[in-house]
Amino acid sequence: MPRMNLLRAAATVSAMTFISRVTGLIRDMLIAAMFAASPATDAFVVAFRIPNLLRRLFAEGAFSQAFVPLLAEYKNRRGEEETRRLIDRTATTLSLALLAITVIGVALSPLVIYASAPGFSSEPDKFELTVRMLRITFPYILFISLVSFAGGVLNTWSRFAIPAFTPTLLNLSFIVGAALFAPYSTRPSSSSHGRYSPGASCSSRSS
């Protein structure tokens, strides 16, 4: 029976991962078809890449690797009631820490862009646009880290389908957003590359 449960869990995660990869491919194809390369596109790619990198460090990195085994051991030794108290305290502490990181990141967005994309400083309009986009996308690290935290909790209770499906939801959000907003943006011409114009479109590639 444990072997069957392991195989079922592995099959579920594999299927959800496959769906995520397929929707990711559709996302990239749709974005490439609807949005042309432009300074606005570059700005959004950089702005989204930064919180996405922090997501890997906080949500899927050391924290998850340390917390999930600890939570499983706590659940086996202390029982579910004590484990729920641990989850509540950890969620509160994590939320406050991520909120502080988000506020600092938004406040220091110009310095973050200087450090991560120093070439943008030679184009003031592009630099300013990237800073504005980073301030909009930076709270992503707060929400996606809490999603990852919830996924770790669900995995501890042997609920694998929902955490494995969440990347697909992100891809679907990009697909729906591109389909809805592309008609309201102006496709930049090749002559406009290298100079930002207010009507330029933007998109991103997320991992």
pLDDT at 60: 65
Give residue 96's pLDDT: 93
Highest mean pLDDT, choosing among 38-42, 61-65, 101-105:
101-105
Residues in contact with 18: Cβ distance below 8 Å, sequence separation at least 6, in sequence order: none
Query: Average pLDDT of 10-14?
Result: 86
19 band by pLDDT with thresholds 50, 70 and 90: very high
pLDDT confidence of residue 190: 44
Q: List phi, psi (to 5°) of 160.
A: -100, -20
**Residue 191 pLDDT:** 43
For 138-197, the pLDDT digits (tens) are 998 888 888 888 888 888 888 888 888 988 998 999 899 888 887 776 655 444 444 444
Main-chain phi, psi angles of 203, to 5 degrees = -155, -175
pLDDT band at 26; cut points 50, 70, 90:
very high
Bridge-partner residues for 200, per DSSP?
186
Three state DSSP letters for 77-141: HHCHHHHHHHHHHHHHHHHHHHHHHHHHHHHCHHHHHHHHCHHHHHCHHHHHHHHHHHHHHCCHH
pLDDT at 4: 59
> pLDDT tens for residues 91-144?
999 899 889 999 999 999 999 999 888 888 888 888 999 999 999 999 988 888
Q: Which pLDDT belongs to residue 108? A: 94
Q: Mean pLDDT check: name the lowest of 33-47, 75-89, 103-117.
A: 33-47
Q: What is the structure's pLDDT at 29?
A: 84
Res 200: pLDDT: 40
